[in-house]
Structure formats: structure tokens, C-alpha cells
Amino acid sequence: MDESELRLLELIAARMCHDLVGPVGASVNGAELLAEGEAADAEVVRLIGQSARQASRRLQVFRVAYGTPGALSGGRPFAQAGQLLAAMLEGEKASVDWQVDLALDAACGRVGARLALLVALIGVEALARGGVLRVSGAVSGARATIEAQAAGPNAKFPDETAAALQGRVPLAQLTAKAAPAELARRLAAAAGGGLELADTPQGPVLRATLAAELSS
């Protein structure tokens, strides 16, 4: 492992911890409140359960997006990826409309599904004030395309994330916030494709292309 790979690994780990500290901390605080009382408070128990489920759902998404495609089932990995993201966003300001052509399962397998989940996870960042992330994908010849369009109030990718998606941030200057974007850019390149950002009347779009017939 060279220094650049180690740097990216450190940043991804930091980003994961940042995104998990909230729900995990809330669960711990709730458990401490229960330990101090003589009887279980229904509202505290509800909040503990809610926070624990949120942490679990985030971990399931991170396991695939930041881990390995093998964490997805081999049958319908794209559908599974969409289900994981939808569960993670349940109760949040942003939601996902996952409309991915089933042909992608055969064409790109778990490698493509992992990239789709990571692209969608980054797409949620453009919905700071809520909205809908519309994820679509299709195969044309030897190429596959995955799009994540953010539709919501003032939907916009953070400048730092947008720059990293376009490969304009040196690794030494990359932060944990933009680390997923750098990872997505590298994964798309390794899959024989790349990333593209576009503005549309419906909202900003993050588009990933990759070679079809990838090994899963």
C-alpha cells in the first residue's frame, strides 16, 4: 500500500466515524438515562431503538459502498443496493427513487452495483434541504451508465465534493468530507469508465459510466 492509498483509507475511515457518531452516541446516551432510572421510559426506549436502527442501516450501506462488492448478493445486486439506501434514508429529509434497469445486474454485477450505491450516497449530499434522489441506470452496447439526479430546494453538490468528483483536488488536500467522491472517481476509472457532473432544469446530476460485462 502506497502513501496515497493509505491517505484515502484514513479519510474514508474518518468519514464513516463522523457519520456514525451521531446515532451511536444517541443510543449510548439513551442507555445511560435508562440505567439512572428505576423504570424504562417509553420515549427513551423508542429513541434508543430509532438511533440503533439508523446506525445499523448506515453500516450496511457503508459496508458495500466503502468495502467490497462481495457484501451484495449475487442474484440482484442493484435492487439490493437500492433497498439498502432506501432503508438508510427512511425518516430523513431526503428520499430515493431507485429506477435502475435490471439488465445492469447481468452486465455489471456487484462491481457496478457497488459503484451505483456509492454514487447515490454522494448524490444525497446535494439534498441538504431535502428532496428526492432519482437513480437510474441502463446498458447500451459495451457501456453502462448510472445517473443520480438530485431534485430538491437549492439542490447542489458541495464545492469540495464537486471538485473531488472531477479529480481537481490533490490527495494531500482532500478532506474526509470529500473522500467518498475521490473513491467513486477511482472506482469508476478502475471499471473502465469515469464520472461526470451536469446541471439540468430538474437538478444536478452525477453520472457514472463503466464497462459492461464486468466480473462480479
Task: Give me the pLDDT at residue 143, please.
Answer: 93
Task: Give me the pLDDT at residue 52, please.
Answer: 93
Q: Is the domain 3-211 a CATH 3.40.630.30 member?
A: no
Distance CA(166)–CA(154), nearest Å, equals 21
Contact 41, 34 (CB under 8 A): yes
Task: Please report, in tens digits, the pLDDT of each residue of the chain (216 residues total).
Answer: 677 789 999 999 999 999 999 999 999 888 888 887 755 678 888 888 999 999 999 999 999 999 988 888 778 999 999 999 999 999 999 999 999 988 899 899 999 999 999 999 999 999 999 999 999 999 998 999 999 999 999 999 999 999 999 999 999 999 999 999 999 999 999 999 999 999 999 999 999 999 987 544
Helix and strand counts by DSSP (H, E) for the chain? 6, 5
**188: three-class secondary structure by DSSP:** helix
Q: Angle 171-211-147 (CA atoms, 0-180°, nearest 5)?
A: 70
